[in-house]
Amino acid sequence: MNATATILKTATATAPQTPTVSDAVTARQPATPTGPQALPAPSALHAEYPLSRALGDGIASQRSTVKRILSGEDSRLLLVVGPCSAHDPRAVREYAERLARLADDVAEQILPVMRVYVEKPRTTVGWKGLAYDPDLDGRGDIARGLALSRELMRDVAECGLPVATELLQPMLAPYLEDLLSWVAIGARTTESQLHRELASGLDAAVGFKNATHGGVQVAVDAMGAAAHPHQRFAMDAAGRPAVAQTPGNPHTHLVLRGGSGEPNYRADHVRAAAAALESAGQNPRLMVDCSHANARKDHRRQSEVMLDVLAQREAGNLNLAALMLESFLHEGKQPLTPGALRHGVSITDACIGWETTERLVKTAAERLA
Ligand SMILES: O=C[C@H](O)[C@H](O)COP(=O)(O)O
Ligand SMILES: C=C(OP(=O)(O)O)C(=O)O
């Protein structure tokens, strides 16, 4: 019996109702070790899903627009928006089409960048994202996950939207990084030297989140580390282990996401964070993540956070350069129950639905006009 069969059988035996993938993951028995299985090299995936010259130029220009907003040369608001995780490419494409239309409507005030998050960092265990487990069944077909992720990001970029993702597994970056206009290093990895080194070699702007317990200094330190050149362990385009020399990335910023269930988006938090950045000689312009601990894990509170931040901006605090929203076609979240998934609903963190998103983004554009 292979490992998949063991996982599902265990879950069925222990759970009286339909097993979810999370059940399967938590009920997992020690897997029989198998030898490593080969993955395609980054160059193979690039050849299968190439970037046209026009798309490559478009992404280069989107990256520099993002950087200009973060440095204050462009006074628009950067808005990283989209599903918590991209579990269903069809629903993500549908969302991208809607967002691309909305982006045109608000282009004078806001630059929407779409979340296409194909890796999820987990607090303990759980589904880890499209790149790891595209079939949502715990088998972990990473080769297929990488291909679907690249194809999906390319399709989103083809809609004219800049693409954002969290980079979690440094080995995954060479497969996707040419498609990215903005990158997050998440709250669980901002303190990691590997992720700081990774950020130091990226051409896209990088947001470092404050730690899950709320500490902001780790992100300030991360910005300093990422601005430096590094020699890092890497994988070359042919998939061979290599030493990469990174140039250092001066285009990084802080993301306030709240910590230990407490928000940190209010004016006093923003002032304190900007002061910490300035005293470290770093860019004080930052992003507020309206979700996660800033919304106390309640997606309905994202609007409240966004409106508060807009009011701070109207009051003159231009350090508030960017916002993040977790939003999908439909509101809320659902358990990962194979065969019973609702279209366009998150299977990780709860999201606001499309109508609320559209209303909020249009309201923001009117207020910023
Ligand atoms: O954004 C997503 C989640 O907050 C993050 O991946 C952690 O999720 P978990 O606590 O459900 O594992
Ligand atoms: C995992 C995420 O955020 P954080 O690192 O803030 O938990 C996310 O934005 O998907």
In degrees, rounded to 5, the angle at the alpha carbon of residue 72 between the alpha carbons of residues 70 and 74 is: 95
H or E stretch at 4 = helix 3-14
| Ligand 2 pocket: which of 292, 296, 302, 346 to mutate (most atoms within 8 A of CB) | 292
Q: Which residue's CA is minimally distant from atom 7 of ligand 2?
A: 187
Only one residue has tokens 């903005």, namely: 182
Whole-angstrom CA distances from 241 to 41, 46, 171, 237, 355 are: 11, 18, 10, 10, 46
The verdict on residue 336 lying in a domain is yes
Residues 1-58 pLDDT 10s: 233 222 222 222 233 344 454 544 444 445 667 788 999 999 999 999 999 999 999 9
CA–CA distance, 139 with 349 (Å, rounded to integer): 22
81 is a domain residue = yes
**Residue 24 resides in a domain:** no
Length of the chain: 369
Cβ–ligand 2 contact at 117 (below 6 Å): yes
The label of the residue with tokens 């296409």 reads 116
Contacts of 46 (CB under 8 A, 6+ apart): 175, 178, 237
Q: What is the pLDDT of residue 102?
A: 98
| Mutation to probe ligand 1, out of 349, 351, 352 (largest number of atoms < 8 A from CB) | 349
107 CA to centre of ligand 1 in angstroms: 31
Q: pTM for the complete prediction?
A: 0.93
Per the structure, the count of domains in the chain is: 1
In a domain, 3, yes or no: no
Contact between 232 and 49 under an 8 Å Cβ cutoff? The reply is: no
- Tens of pLDDT, residues 48-106: 999 999 999 999 999 999 999 999 999 999 999 999 999 999 999 999 999 999 999 99
Q: Is 13 inside any structural domain?
A: no
Is the Cβ atom of 166 under 6 angstroms away from ligand 2?
Answer: yes
Answer whether residue 17 is part of any domain.
no
Cβ pair 130, 175 in contact under 8 A? no
With both helix axes pointing from N to C terminus, report the angle between 89-105 and 354-368 in degrees, rounded to the nearest 10: 20
Mean pLDDT computed over 163-180: 98
Mean pLDDT of 180-201: 98
Lowest mean pLDDT among 28-42, 247-261, 295-309, 346-360: 28-42
Tell whether 66 is covered by a domain: yes
Mean pLDDT on 261-282 = 98
182 lines ligand 2 (CB under 6 A): no
Q: Phi and psi (nearest 5°) for 276?
A: -65, -40
Nearest CA to ligand 2 atom 6: 187
Note down the domain range covering 344.
39-368
User: Which of 124, 189, 289 has the most ligand 2 atoms within 8 A of CB, as the residue to mutate?
Assistant: 289
CATH label of the domain that carries residue 265: 3.20.20.70
Residue 29 covered by a domain: no
Portion of the chain with pLDDT greater than 90, in percent = 89
